[in-house]
Protein backbone atom coordinates (compact mmCIF):
# COMPACT_ATOMS: atom_id res chain seq x y z
CA UNK A 1 0.00 0.00 0.00
CA UNK A 2 1.16 3.49 -0.78
CA UNK A 3 2.34 5.80 1.95
CA UNK A 4 2.49 8.95 -0.19
CA UNK A 5 -0.53 11.15 0.63
CA UNK A 6 -1.19 12.09 -3.00
CA UNK A 7 -1.26 8.44 -4.08
CA UNK A 8 -3.44 7.51 -1.13
CA UNK A 9 -5.94 10.20 -2.17
CA UNK A 10 -5.84 8.96 -5.76
CA UNK A 11 -6.44 5.35 -4.68
CA UNK A 12 -9.36 6.57 -2.58
CA UNK A 13 -10.63 8.54 -5.58
CA UNK A 14 -10.79 11.60 -3.31
CA UNK A 15 -10.47 14.39 -5.83
CA UNK A 16 -11.03 17.14 -3.26
CA UNK A 17 -8.05 15.94 -1.22
CA UNK A 18 -5.97 15.58 -4.40
CA UNK A 19 -6.69 19.24 -5.20
CA UNK A 20 -5.83 20.34 -1.66
CA UNK A 21 -2.56 18.35 -1.68
CA UNK A 22 -1.50 19.77 -5.05
CA UNK A 23 -2.27 23.32 -3.91
CA UNK A 24 -0.20 22.57 -0.80
CA UNK A 25 2.82 21.60 -2.89
CA UNK A 26 2.53 17.83 -3.29
CA UNK A 27 4.89 16.58 -5.98
CA UNK A 28 2.91 14.89 -8.80
CA UNK A 29 6.15 13.35 -10.09
CA UNK A 30 7.04 11.38 -6.97
CA UNK A 31 6.77 7.67 -7.69
CA UNK A 32 4.42 5.44 -5.77
CA UNK A 33 5.48 2.03 -4.48
CA UNK A 34 4.39 0.62 -7.84
CA UNK A 35 6.71 2.99 -9.79
CA UNK A 36 3.81 5.11 -11.06
CA UNK A 37 3.62 8.87 -10.94
CA UNK A 38 0.41 10.52 -9.78
CA UNK A 39 -0.72 11.22 -13.36
CA UNK A 40 -0.61 7.59 -14.46
CA UNK A 41 -2.15 6.51 -11.17
CA UNK A 42 -5.05 8.98 -11.59
CA UNK A 43 -5.57 7.88 -15.20
CA UNK A 44 -5.58 4.20 -14.22
CA UNK A 45 -8.23 4.99 -11.60
CA UNK A 46 -10.22 6.80 -14.33
CA UNK A 47 -10.41 9.99 -12.32
CA UNK A 48 -12.12 13.03 -13.84
CA UNK A 49 -10.65 15.14 -16.59
CA UNK A 50 -10.61 18.02 -14.09
CA UNK A 51 -8.27 16.06 -11.84
CA UNK A 52 -6.09 15.07 -14.80
CA UNK A 53 -5.94 18.76 -15.83
CA UNK A 54 -5.11 19.72 -12.24
CA UNK A 55 -2.19 17.28 -12.15
CA UNK A 56 -0.92 18.59 -15.49
CA UNK A 57 -1.27 22.19 -14.27
CA UNK A 58 0.85 21.29 -11.24
CA UNK A 59 3.71 19.96 -13.35
CA UNK A 60 2.89 16.29 -13.86
CA UNK A 61 5.17 14.89 -16.56
CA UNK A 62 3.14 14.15 -19.68
CA UNK A 63 5.45 11.33 -20.68
CA UNK A 64 4.94 9.57 -17.36
CA UNK A 65 7.37 7.17 -15.78
CA UNK A 66 9.73 4.90 -17.68
CA UNK A 67 7.67 1.82 -16.85
CA UNK A 68 4.24 3.39 -17.33
CA UNK A 69 4.08 6.01 -20.09
CA UNK A 70 0.98 8.08 -19.32
CA UNK A 71 -0.48 7.73 -22.80
CA UNK A 72 -0.10 3.94 -22.65
CA UNK A 73 -1.91 3.90 -19.30
CA UNK A 74 -4.67 6.10 -20.72
CA UNK A 75 -5.12 3.83 -23.75
CA UNK A 76 -5.12 0.67 -21.63
CA UNK A 77 -7.65 2.25 -19.24
CA UNK A 78 -9.74 3.47 -22.19
CA UNK A 79 -9.69 6.96 -20.65
CA UNK A 80 -10.44 8.99 -23.78
CA UNK A 81 -10.47 12.34 -21.98
CA UNK A 82 -6.96 11.67 -20.67
CA UNK A 83 -5.79 10.51 -24.11
CA UNK A 84 -6.99 13.77 -25.65
CA UNK A 85 -5.52 15.93 -22.89
CA UNK A 86 -2.14 14.21 -23.08
CA UNK A 87 -1.99 14.50 -26.85
CA UNK A 88 -2.94 18.19 -26.68
CA UNK A 89 -0.19 18.67 -24.09
CA UNK A 90 2.36 17.18 -26.50
CA UNK A 91 2.56 13.50 -25.53
CA UNK A 92 4.18 11.26 -28.16
CA UNK A 93 1.38 9.28 -29.87
CA UNK A 94 3.90 6.59 -30.85
CA UNK A 95 5.33 5.93 -27.38
CA UNK A 96 5.72 2.25 -26.53
CA UNK A 97 5.79 0.34 -23.27
CA UNK A 98 9.46 -0.30 -22.68
CA UNK A 99 9.19 -3.28 -20.38
CA UNK A 100 6.45 -5.12 -22.20
CA UNK A 101 5.76 -6.03 -25.79
CA UNK A 102 6.40 -2.65 -27.44
CA UNK A 103 2.69 -1.93 -27.50
CA UNK A 104 1.63 1.60 -28.39
CA UNK A 105 -1.45 3.59 -27.49
CA UNK A 106 -2.77 2.68 -30.94
CA UNK A 107 -2.29 -1.07 -30.45
CA UNK A 108 -4.06 -0.89 -27.07
CA UNK A 109 -6.90 1.13 -28.59
CA UNK A 110 -7.18 -1.32 -31.49
CA UNK A 111 -7.32 -4.26 -29.08
CA UNK A 112 -10.22 -2.66 -27.20
CA UNK A 113 -11.93 -1.40 -30.37
CA UNK A 114 -11.78 2.13 -29.00
CA UNK A 115 -12.45 3.99 -32.25
CA UNK A 116 -12.63 7.40 -30.58
CA UNK A 117 -9.11 6.91 -29.22
CA UNK A 118 -7.90 5.51 -32.55
CA UNK A 119 -9.16 8.61 -34.37
CA UNK A 120 -7.57 10.92 -31.79
CA UNK A 121 -4.24 9.13 -31.92
CA UNK A 122 -4.19 9.16 -35.72
CA UNK A 123 -5.10 12.87 -35.76
CA UNK A 124 -2.09 13.57 -33.54
CA UNK A 125 0.31 11.54 -35.69
CA UNK A 126 0.17 7.96 -34.45
CA UNK A 127 1.76 5.62 -36.99
CA UNK A 128 -0.83 2.99 -38.05
CA UNK A 129 1.99 0.87 -39.52
CA UNK A 130 3.99 0.60 -36.26
CA UNK A 131 3.96 -3.03 -35.12
CA UNK A 132 4.53 -4.43 -31.65
CA UNK A 133 7.28 -6.90 -30.72
CA UNK A 134 5.18 -9.75 -32.16
CA UNK A 135 5.03 -7.81 -35.46
CA UNK A 136 1.30 -7.20 -35.12
CA UNK A 137 0.04 -3.90 -36.48
CA UNK A 138 -2.92 -2.12 -34.90
CA UNK A 139 -4.97 -3.25 -37.92
CA UNK A 140 -4.12 -6.91 -37.37
CA UNK A 141 -4.95 -6.58 -33.67
CA UNK A 142 -8.33 -4.97 -34.43
CA UNK A 143 -9.06 -7.66 -37.06
CA UNK A 144 -8.26 -10.49 -34.65
CA UNK A 145 -10.49 -8.91 -32.00
CA UNK A 146 -13.26 -8.50 -34.60
CA UNK A 147 -13.67 -4.76 -34.04
CA UNK A 148 -15.10 -3.92 -37.45
CA UNK A 149 -15.37 -0.15 -36.95
CA UNK A 150 -11.78 0.04 -35.69
CA UNK A 151 -10.67 -2.07 -38.65
CA UNK A 152 -12.35 0.34 -41.08
CA UNK A 153 -10.73 3.40 -39.46
CA UNK A 154 -7.28 1.77 -39.47
CA UNK A 155 -7.59 0.51 -43.08
CA UNK A 156 -8.39 4.05 -44.18
CA UNK A 157 -5.42 5.43 -42.22
CA UNK A 158 -3.05 2.84 -43.64
CA UNK A 159 -4.19 3.56 -47.20
CA UNK A 160 -3.60 7.30 -46.73
CA UNK A 161 -0.38 8.65 -48.24
CA UNK A 162 0.29 10.74 -45.11
Closest by alpha carbon to 4, among 42, 41, 31, 44?
31
Count other C-beta atoms under 10 Å from residue 61's C-beta: 17
Mean pLDDT, the chain cut into blocks of 10 residues (162 residues total):
81 96 94 85 95 96 82 96 97 85 94 98 97 95 98 95 68
Q: Which residues contact 23 (CB under 8 A, 6 or more apart)?
A: none
How far apart CA 27 and CA 82 sit, in angstroms, is 20
pLDDT at 34: 75
Closest by alpha carbon to 113, among 87, 146, 136, 160?
146
Strand partners of residue 69: 64
How far apart CA 56 and CA 119 sit, in angstroms, is 23
User: Any alpha helices (H) in 28-102, and if so which ranges?
Assistant: 38-44, 49-57, 70-77, 80-88
Count other C-beta atoms under 10 Å from residue 30's C-beta: 11
Sorted by where each starts, the structural domains of the chain and their CATH numbers stand as 92-162 (1.25.40.20)
pLDDT at 1: 46
pLDDT at 100: 67
pLDDT at 3: 60
Amino acid sequence: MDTLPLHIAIAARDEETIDRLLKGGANPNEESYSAMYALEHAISEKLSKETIANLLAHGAKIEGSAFFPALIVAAAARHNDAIEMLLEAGADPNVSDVEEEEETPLTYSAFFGNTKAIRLLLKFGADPHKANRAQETPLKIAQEAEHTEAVAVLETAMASPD
